[in-house]
Structure 1
């Protein structure tokens, strides 16, 4: 049997405010192309189908179209919810969806009830563990003594192993789970699932399955031959700039796991980070290749440039993030009382402007500040002799 392992679609997510639905649809459509081209039997989606518990109508349409294309390409789907999803909403009409080849495993009560598929070697049992919030799951699973993610996932796998042991000899298995497994490397775009300061679980928790399709971490990685993260299909933070976005093509033979191969995904819009003086970023030919990228820029000008993002977008229309780190500058931390002690209102306002952009106000700006303070009834005592 051939399986395609993917996860963390996060349909509906934005990138520093930029809408990603078009890019997400492009990549998810490619999954259907892979299904057709690689003769995939079943697609495993290990959580975080959506980016939020209540996705927008358009996000639902994009995800639904993707699932429909995958099904039309010839594969069934097994989907579990992640920590971003609403399990109840994702699992609505699950019984009816299963008749059409869409298998939704969204409750703790059914995690030991596999999706049973057949190939030329016999049955394959695919178990879906939804994201388990420890404090809730330990009571639902009847193990109030369980602690943290390790405790509830241990009980989940105990139930799965017990069910598998009672099935036909030679039944192979795959497990979907959404968790932070020890040895995995995170990025800036995952929401923490720490409970009591602990979010990681040991990989040994998942012993007994032929293949474990992990979700939650956004970089593709191999923790053991049978234990892998597919990562997200798109980059959702600049910390993922160097990642190759991909899926795993998993083959099971009569004895279990036969092979796992990586398939890279298309990149609708690349990420680029750059650093330097604003004038250089706007003029240097070396940066021309980033014109169509999502751009994060760090400006090193001594004085903070005025209207920098607008100017940057004239050359890089998809610039989405901007920092200012003046070359040779040092961060100074002052308590408020120390910063204003013995200073007039005009001096305080001028000092604030200097701190924000690295240069004092010009004569014209100083005049505007003075006029504004006068209009607000805050005339500088040094100017009008007021002894307040």
Structure 2
């Protein structure tokens, strides 16, 4: 049986006001071509289908059109919710999608057995998928009676571990001797992050160790971290990563899907996704930036996006003005400068105050804004951590407006 693992589609994502819907469509077209030549039995999507909990009508339409395209390949699709997803949005069409052999688990069911999805071939069950979505604070609430933050962290870890281990236990009781694959959406210790993994909320603060998953899973298909990677563990535990770059920090990542052939091994084959758009970060002095901009060429289907970081030793308002003029005059075909930043190494406090380059609030996530606020208050580190924990619980609540 062949299983394809992907995650973190983030439909509706914008990168510096650039809509990435075309990027995602090109990925889906490539994926369909791959499936045409390389049939699979099951497609796993491990969370963060959407970028926003209340996706636009355009994003929902893109999602449903994608499912229709993929269903042409006669495969079972299993989707779990991520921290960006609204459980009710994902599960609203659940009954209809079930009829199409598309299974959606947007939030953790009351009964762990409801996470278990048998996968059959020729009317015989061959393996079990434990489809565990992102675990929100209400799923872990029973563990939140620890007095200190450190104890709460441990309580969160143990609660998440309990969900995976209890689900595995039930799978082994109900389906003995069958292979078991888990889906999860969380942060595991040792995973390499990029700047686009924003709002890592309370259920993921703990940083799970590989041992927390237990020893009953044959493969663990994770989402949440956008860089494809394997965790150091005896069990194959993989992040598939996002299929398209979602931030400039991902510009050098080799985007991938993972494909398992369970008859051969539970170690997946890593399939590289073509690049559809170039993200270029240019750093240097004004003269260096001018040369680098002149040498840029677009070799990809979609518009190249460029970030500029000017570094000069001495403060100069003239240099800042000249950079603005260079950006305004830039007219390379199919290329856009989407952000620029100026840093002077040697600046007095007065010069720093009159510098024309300031960070915009729109450049920060809510969590980052709150972190900056915390930096300016006179409290202990433990108190600040407690405040951040409370803030993330509020973010979690705001992501569920339907309730």
TM-score, normalised by the number of residues in structure 1: 0.78
| Cα distance between partner residues in 2 of 1:67 and 1:36 | 15
| Equivalent residues in 2 for 1:1-388, closer than 5 Å | 1-109=1-109, 110-113=111-114, 114-119=116-121, 122-134=125-137, 136-139=138-141, 147-148=152-153, 149-195=156-202, 198-207=205-214, 208-223=216-231, 224=233, 226-253=236-263, 257-278=265-286, 281-282=289-290, 287-290=295-298, 292-300=303-311, 302=316, 303-304=319-320, 305=322, 306-314=324-332, 317-326=335-344, 329-333=345-349, 355-356=355-356
Which secondary structure state, in structure 1, belongs to the residue aligned with residue 140 of structure 2? helix
| Cα distance between partner residues in 1 of 2:353 and 2:120 | 70
Which secondary structure state, in structure 1, belongs to the residue aligned with residue 225 of structure 2? coil
In the TM superposition, what is the alpha-carbon distance from 1:89 to its structure 2 partner? 1.0
Moved more, 71-80 or 286-295: 286-295
Moved more, 295-304 or 123-132: 295-304
| Cα distance between partner residues in 2 of 1:332 and 1:311 | 31
TM-aligned CA distance change 1:72 to 1:308, over 3 Å = same
Check conservation: 1:35, 1:74, Cα contact below 8 A: no
Which secondary structure state, in structure 2, belongs to the residue aligned with residue 108 of structure 1? coil
Check conservation: 1:78, 1:128, Cα contact below 8 A: yes
Return the structure number with greater relative CO, CA threshold 8 A, min gap 6.
2
TM-aligned CA distance change 1:99 to 1:285, over 3 Å = closer
Q: Give deviations 1:337-383, integer Å, cap 9, x for gaps.
A: xx9xxxxxxxxxxx966x438xxxxxxxxxxxxxxxxxxxxxxxxxx
| Cα distance between partner residues in 2 of 1:21 and 1:168 | 41
RMSD over aligned CA atoms reads: 2.7
Which secondary structure state, in structure 1, belongs to the residue aligned with residue 32 of structure 2? helix
Check conservation: 1:33, 1:73, Cα contact below 8 A: no
| Cα distance between partner residues in 2 of 1:196 and 1:126 | 22
| Cα distance between partner residues in 1 of 2:112 and 2:327 | 49
| Cα distance between partner residues in 1 of 2:293 and 2:326 | 19
| Cα distance between partner residues in 1 of 2:112 and 2:52 | 22
| Cα distance between partner residues in 1 of 2:287 and 2:237 | 48
TM-score, normalised by the number of residues in structure 2: 0.75
Check conservation: 2:186, 2:204, Cα contact below 8 A: no
Larger radius of gyration: 1
In the TM superposition, what is the alpha-carbon distance from 1:122 to its structure 2 partner? 4.3
Q: Give deviations 1:154-207, integer Å, cap 9, x for gaps.
A: 221132122112123321111110000011011000113253993311111222
Which secondary structure state, in structure 2, belongs to the residue aligned with residue 27 of structure 1? helix
TM-aligned CA distance change 1:297 to 1:164, over 3 Å = same
TM-aligned CA distance change 1:130 to 1:137, over 3 Å = same
What are the ranges of 5 or more consecutive residues in structure 2 without an aligned counterpart? 147-151, 358-403
Which secondary structure state, in structure 2, belongs to the residue aligned with residue 171 of structure 1? coil
Aligned to 1:360: none
In the TM superposition, what is the alpha-carbon distance from 1:294 to its structure 2 partner? 1.3
| Cα distance between partner residues in 2 of 1:107 and 1:197 | 15
| Cα distance between partner residues in 1 of 2:143 and 2:94 | 26
In the TM superposition, what is the alpha-carbon distance from 1:54 to its structure 2 partner? 0.5
What are the ranges of 5 or more consecutive residues in structure 1 without an aligned counterpart? 340-350, 358-388
